[in-house]
Homo-oligomer: A and B are copies of this chain.
């Protein structure tokens, strides 16, 4: 029996970790799709056991030694050295936070999420406040443990968006807000509002399902290595790039929900299916950041899926499923309904123009909560104030205000900005593609998605986590993170639709 070289041993450990991640992915998919109630209740324990095993594997000092031995190993390839560096990042996150804090945070999160759910359904912020306070305190400690002297928020943000900092994001986001508020104003005041009357009908769920399956096939989702199911909250998960599981949510009275969540998750799924097979089982078969992952879902959902050319191609298909409901609805009417802008209370139901205003609000408030500049009792008031200032809406209840999202309840601070990064990146990437491929809109009106997908595959998907997000964007777009392409895109699409 031949002994494994040091790097082979390290690679075997990477593979083992990737198998555990795949299994955890499947357990979580099952919990959201098919598990019976009793199974969901006991699943938490099973997952905790496996997470514990993974944590022990990651924090094993022998793994630390193998990593140190190969970080600068010139006998291995550049890709292999990058794998080692990525694994070091993951390991650092696992070992830097002391065990008692990990346990305290897990316990606090679990209580906090429970109470958040009850507080939301009862519209009783006071029930949630003490738990948020506790989770915030522990999250501050966690940020400190992760920090290496960095500001607390940056340490947290870095988990979701490696290398991003508040110093970098704040001016970009502030410019975005300055552009969005007047743009929204102009759209809202336009007399030429879309007609969404035809949506107020019932759309047979099984026909909606069939239509989403047609979309997935046409967009290039690979059913040999993936599938779609239904769940309460759509997500992309599964057991690695050979087994990508999308979910969608079907509502009889809102067909856009299933359609756009399917296209959105398809974007995530195409990304996961597009990693380089040579990277499978290593830390390189992953997105470099949540923002980049989100750029892929947003690009397909919005840039492609809400374009006039897309509906030129698909309204006739959708009509075969819903001839009665779509009687007399032409492409223009449909396209305007798809792009209905309306300031609203709930982030997940908001349109492309208002969406990022919801995020920017959260970005500011979560920084203030973390630093202590905003006290937990003052959160609801601050939320209302900002909603009025930015979106011009009155928040009638905390349920529709600061209690709407689950993120803070489990201490996921630093996650929200990645949604906006995804939107900005998606516009930059699509603009770059358009420059190189001016016939893109004709392709789309012919359901010819192959060229765009191939380009995304080679320029983004296959690279996986070989580089950080900023480097990938710079390479693909020829520029760093920027607001302009997104604003140009919004103006180009929405102002004509609203007759401006």
Question: What residues of chain A have their CB less than 8 Å away from a CB belonging to chain B?
Answer: 15-16, 19-20, 22-23, 26-27, 30, 34-39, 41-43, 45-46, 49-50, 53, 222-227, 229, 238-240, 242-243
Contact = CB atoms under 8 A, between A and B. Distances in A.
Q: Is the interface of A mostly helix, strand, loop or mixed?
A: helix
A229 B50 CA distance: 26
A58 to B, nearest CB: 14
Given A36-B223, A223-B36, A242 B41 contact: yes
Contacts of A35: 239, 243
Contact of A36 (B15, B23, B27, B226): B226
Contact of A224 (B16, B37, B46, B225): B37
Contacts of A30: 26, 30
Given A42-B240, A53-B53, A239-B46, A224 B19 contact: no
A156 to B, nearest CB: 27
Given A26-B26, A26-B30, A30-B30, A19 B36 contact: no
A43 B26 CA distance: 10
A42 B26 contact: no
Nearest to A16: B49
B23 A239 contact: no
Contacts of A229: 34
Contacts of A239: 35, 39, 42-43, 46
Given A19-B45, A23-B49, 11 more contacts: A22-B42, A23-B50, A26-B30, A34-B227, A36-B224, A36-B227, A38-B222, A38-B224, A38-B225, A38-B242, A38-B243
A49 B240 CA distance: 15
14 contacts: A15-B49, A19-B49, A20-B49, A20-B50, A22-B46, A23-B46, A36-B224, A36-B243, A38-B222, A38-B224, A38-B226, A38-B243, A42-B240, A42-B243
A192 B349 CA distance: 70
Nearest to A40: B243
A38, A50, A226 — most chain B CB neighbours (10 Å): A38
Contacts of A225: 36-39
Contacts of A43: 239, 243
The 9 closest A-B pairs by CB, nearest first: A39-B243, A38-B225, A38-B242, A19-B49, A42-B242, A19-B46, A37-B224, A36-B227, A22-B46
A23 B23 contact: yes
A222 B39 CA distance: 12
A227 to B, nearest CB: 5
A49 B239 CA distance: 14
A27 B30 CA distance: 10
A50 B242 contact: no
A222 B42 CA distance: 15
A239 to B, nearest CB: 6
Contacts of A38: 222, 224-226, 242-243
A20 B48 CA distance: 11
A37 B222 CA distance: 11
Contacts of A223: 36
A275 to B, nearest CB: 13
Nearest to A24: B23
Contacts of A20: 49-50
Contacts of A19: 45-46, 49-50
Contacts of A22: 42, 46
A483 B216 CA distance: 58
A196 to B, nearest CB: 36
Nearest to A223: B36
Contacts of A42: 22, 239-240, 242-243
Nearest to A48: B19
